[in-house]
């Protein structure tokens, strides 16, 4: 906290000492945070590095093949969030090189009179042509951070070198696209917010719609599916709890522009360390042990439809009782935020609910798509 390491009772971390430390470090230091995962047993640290990346920090991981105890670095590397996966002896030089690089990417390198300069326009055009996705209305600061991260990875000193690299190595365009759409998510993020959501939905089901037969949900920017399944689990719990009073079905539409993330989400298989954030009761209710991890039970998976979908260009899902958009808006410029709010307003039924993230807005907002 405030740059000072504070010690607490390790029992308070509930077996997640490294995760707890990394999460606190990310919250306190933001993009200055660096997490390094070395040889060790278990998976502690994997969730923590996700918090570091969400705050634009740096993650270095020891190559599991060089580790005496490979499970911890292997789990961290499997997230594909590490900036470098290297033998232990190469990690310190990598960190030193990154932090002492003579020139880092500056806003002036990509911006001109408050608008995207020629280099940024060319980079975004290359991404659009290769992937079909337009990032021109994303926040410039976010795009610049991600481009700078790729330049650091390749030890490139200026934007001209990176533009030539993009043209010579087309695979780098795909890698940059993955960085633009970095997928950092987890089950039941902000547990108190999910508790509020469940109680709101309980009231909604019991009082808002006497003719209720199906609750329709859209989870925007679902990444690898954890949030969509979290919402589906909450609704399936309510189905069981309210069975004697009201019967209904659940249909969750979960969308993202990242095909790889959607493919993983559909399978619904997650590592064993989700047991640190999912309660034993919910693990038993919603998951089955499989391949050393946990797979979402078939009944819940079948209620979630994952779709490759561009929120800004494709027709929205409609007649929604609940719309979840928890962290995507923070990456968008104000103009695009206004545009997407119009889309959301149209998509919701009268009395429908929006579930926001915790950044500068309430987690839960009742809204209405009627007059």
Q: Which residues pair with 110 in a beta bridge?
A: none
> Average of pLDDT values for 124-142?
83
Rounded CA separation 167/185 (Å): 31
Q: In what order do the strands lie in the sheet with 214-220?
A: 304-308, 249-256, 214-220, 320-325, 348-356, 364-366
State the Cα–Cα distance between residues 149 and 325, nearest whole angstrom: 26
> Please, are residues 130 and 153 in contact by the beta-carbon 8 Å criterion?
no
pLDDT digits (tens, 9 = 90+) for 228-240: 999 999 999 999 9
Task: Name the 3-class secondary structure at 324.
Answer: strand
**Angstrom distance (rounded) from CA 127 to CA 125:** 5
Q: Locate 112 and state its tokens.
A: 């001109």
Average pLDDT, the chain: 85
User: Which secondary structure element, helix H or strand E, spans residue 347, and what is its range?
Assistant: helix 334-347
pLDDT tens digits for range 186-221: 888 888 889 999 999 998 888 865 667 889 999 998
φ and ψ at residue 97, rounded to 5 degrees: -65, -40
Residue 371 has pLDDT above 60, yes or no: no
Tally the C-alpha atoms within 13 A of residue 116's C-alpha that lie toward its C-beta.
19
Both tokens of 1, joined, read 């906290």
User: pLDDT tens-digit profile of 32-58?
Assistant: 899 999 999 888 888 899 889 878 788
**CB-side neighbour CA atoms (13 Å) of 196:** 16
Question: Element (H or E) spanning 333, and its range?
Answer: none
A 10 A CB-CB count for 9 gives 6
* Phi, psi of 239, rounded to the nearest 5 degrees: -55, -45
DSSP 105-130: --HHHHEETTEE-HHHHHHHHHHHHH
Q: What is the pLDDT of residue 306?
A: 96
Both tokens of 310, joined, read: 């561009």
Domains and CATH numbers, the chain: 10-100 (3.40.50.180), 107-180 (1.10.155), 191-366 (3.40.50.150)
The alpha carbon of residue 86 and the mean position of all alpha carbons in its chain are separated, in whole angstroms, by 25
Q: Lay out the sheet containing 269-271: strands in order across.
A: 269-271, 293-296, 287-290
pTM: 0.72
Q: What angle do CA 273, 279, 281 make, to 5 degrees?
A: 125
Paired residues of 127 in beta bridges: none
Name residue, tokens 């923590």.
Answer: 48
Cβ distance 189 to 326 under 8 Å? yes
The secondary structure of residue 332, as a DSSP letter, is: B
- The tokens of 138 are what? 């994303």
Predicted confidence at residue 113, as pLDDT, reads 62
Query: Among 126-130, 154-158, 249-253, which is the least confidently predicted range?
Result: 154-158
pLDDT digits 0-9 by tens, 163-179:
899 999 988 998 888 78
CB-count burial class (<10 Å; 0-12, 13-18, 19+) for 153: middle
């Amino acid at each position: 906290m405030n740059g000072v390491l504070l010690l607490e009772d390790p029992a308070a971390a509930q077996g997640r000492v490294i995760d707890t430390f990394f999460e606190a470090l990310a919250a306190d230091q933001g993009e200055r945070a660096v997490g390094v995962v070395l040889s060790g047993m278990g998976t502690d640290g994997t969730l923590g590095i996700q918090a570091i990346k969400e705050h634009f920090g740096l993650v270095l991981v020891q190559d599991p093949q060089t580790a005496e105890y490979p499970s911890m670095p292997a789990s961290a590397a499997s997230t594909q969030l590490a900036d470098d996966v290297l033998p232990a002896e190469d990690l310190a030089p990598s960190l030193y090189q990154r932090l002492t690089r003579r020139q880092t990417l500056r806003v002036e390198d990509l911006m001109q009179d408050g608008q995207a300069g020629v280099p940024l326009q060319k980079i975004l055009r290359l991404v659009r042509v290769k992937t079909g996705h337009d990032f021109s209305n994303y926040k410039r600061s976010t795009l610049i951070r991600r481009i700078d991260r790729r330049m650091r990875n390749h030890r490139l000193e200026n934007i001209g070198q990176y533009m030539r690299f993009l043209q010579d190595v087309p695979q780098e365009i795909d890698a940059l696209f993955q960085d633009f759409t970095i997928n950092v998510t987890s089950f039941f993020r902000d547990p108190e917010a999910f508790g509020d959501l469940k109680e709101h939905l309980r009231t909604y089901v019991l009082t808002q719609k006497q003719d209720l037969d199906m609750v329709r949900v859209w989870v925007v920017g679902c990444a690898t599916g954890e949030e969509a399944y979290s919402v589906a689990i909450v609704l399936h719990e309510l189905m069981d709890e309210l069975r004697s009073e009201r019967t209904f079905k659940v249909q969750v539409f979960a969308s993202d522009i990242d095909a790889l993330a959607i493919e993983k989400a559909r399978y619904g298989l997650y590592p064993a360390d989700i047991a640190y954030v999912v309660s034993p009761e919910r693990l038993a209710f919603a998951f089955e042990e499989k391949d050393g991890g946990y797979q979402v039970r078939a009944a819940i998976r079948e209620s979630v439809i994952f779709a490759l979908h561009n929120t800004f260009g494709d027709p929205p899902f409609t007649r929604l009782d609940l719309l979840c958009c928890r962290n995507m808006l923070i990456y968008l410029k104000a103009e695009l935020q206004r545009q997407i709010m119009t889309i959301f307003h149209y998509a919701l039924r009268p009395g429908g609910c929006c579930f926001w993230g915790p950044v500068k807005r309430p987690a839960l907002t009742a809204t209405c798509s009627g007059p």
